[in-house]
């Protein structure tokens, strides 16, 4: 019973951390509850999507991740660009 409460709290902790980083609360809650401690650590070290450098698709104008080789919206093959758009997290901090 004590273990169950512990796992639940670990799940909530991992879920909150995952949510802050722009991921799903539920997915990280499950990971944290199944792997107490480990799940929370994984959530803490999980690389946030918001920290990725972005760029704009030249064909449809959609903002995609810098490392994407193909536009998710229109399917255009993307060259590795010389300039990227700053990560969302950096843009948010300046506001
Ligand atoms: Zn596109």
58: pLDDT strictly greater than 90: no
95: pLDDT strictly greater than 90: no
From residue 42, give the alpha-carbon distance in Å to each of 4, 35, 52, 89: 20, 10, 18, 20
Cα 63 to ligand 1 centre (Å): 8
**Distance of alpha carbon 75 from its chain centroid, rounded?**
22
Whether residues 66 and 95 fall in one domain: yes
Last residue of a domain, one of 10, 31, 46: 46
Query: What pLDDT score was predicted for residue 26?
Result: 92
| Residue 72 confidence class, pLDDT cut points 50, 70, 90 | confident
Whether residues 36 and 69 fall in one domain: no
Whether residues 37 and 67 fall in one domain: no
Average pLDDT of 36-52? 76
Whether residues 94 and 56 fall in one domain: yes
| Residue 74 confidence class, pLDDT cut points 50, 70, 90 | very high
Cα 54 to ligand 1 centre (Å): 13
Which residue is listed with tokens 């944290």? 32
How far is 17 from 40, CA to CA, in rounded Å?
A: 8
Kindly report the average pLDDT of the chain as a whole number: 82
Question: pTM for this one?
Answer: 0.49
Whether residues 22 and 56 fall in one domain: no
Query: What pLDDT score was predicted for residue 44?
Result: 79
Q: Looking at the 3D structure of the chain, how many domains does it have? A: 2
What residues does 54 pair with on adjacent strands?
65, 85
- Using CB atoms within 10 Å of the CB of residue 10, give its burial: 0 to 12 exposed, 13 to 18 middle, 19+ buried: buried
> Between these two residues, 61 and 78, which has the higher pLDDT value?
61
Query: What pLDDT score was predicted for residue 60?
Result: 94
Whether residues 9 and 40 fall in one domain: yes
Range(s) of the domain holding residue 86: 50-95
Whether residues 59 and 26 fall in one domain: no
Cα 33 to ligand 1 centre (Å): 38
Cα 70 to ligand 1 centre (Å): 8
Cα 47 to ligand 1 centre (Å): 24
């Amino acid at each position: 019973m004590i273990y169950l409460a512990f796992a639940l709290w670990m799940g909530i902790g991992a879920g909150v951390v995952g949510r802050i980083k722009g991921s799903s609360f539920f997915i990280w809650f499950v990971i944290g509850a199944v792997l107490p401690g480990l799940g929370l650590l994984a959530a803490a070290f999980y690389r946030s999507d918001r920290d990725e450098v972005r760029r704009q698709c030249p064909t449809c104008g959609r903002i995609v991740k810098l490392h994407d080789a193909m536009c998710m919206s229109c399917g255009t093959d993307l060259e590795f660009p010389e300039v990227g758009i700053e990560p969302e997290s950096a843009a948010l901090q300046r506001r």
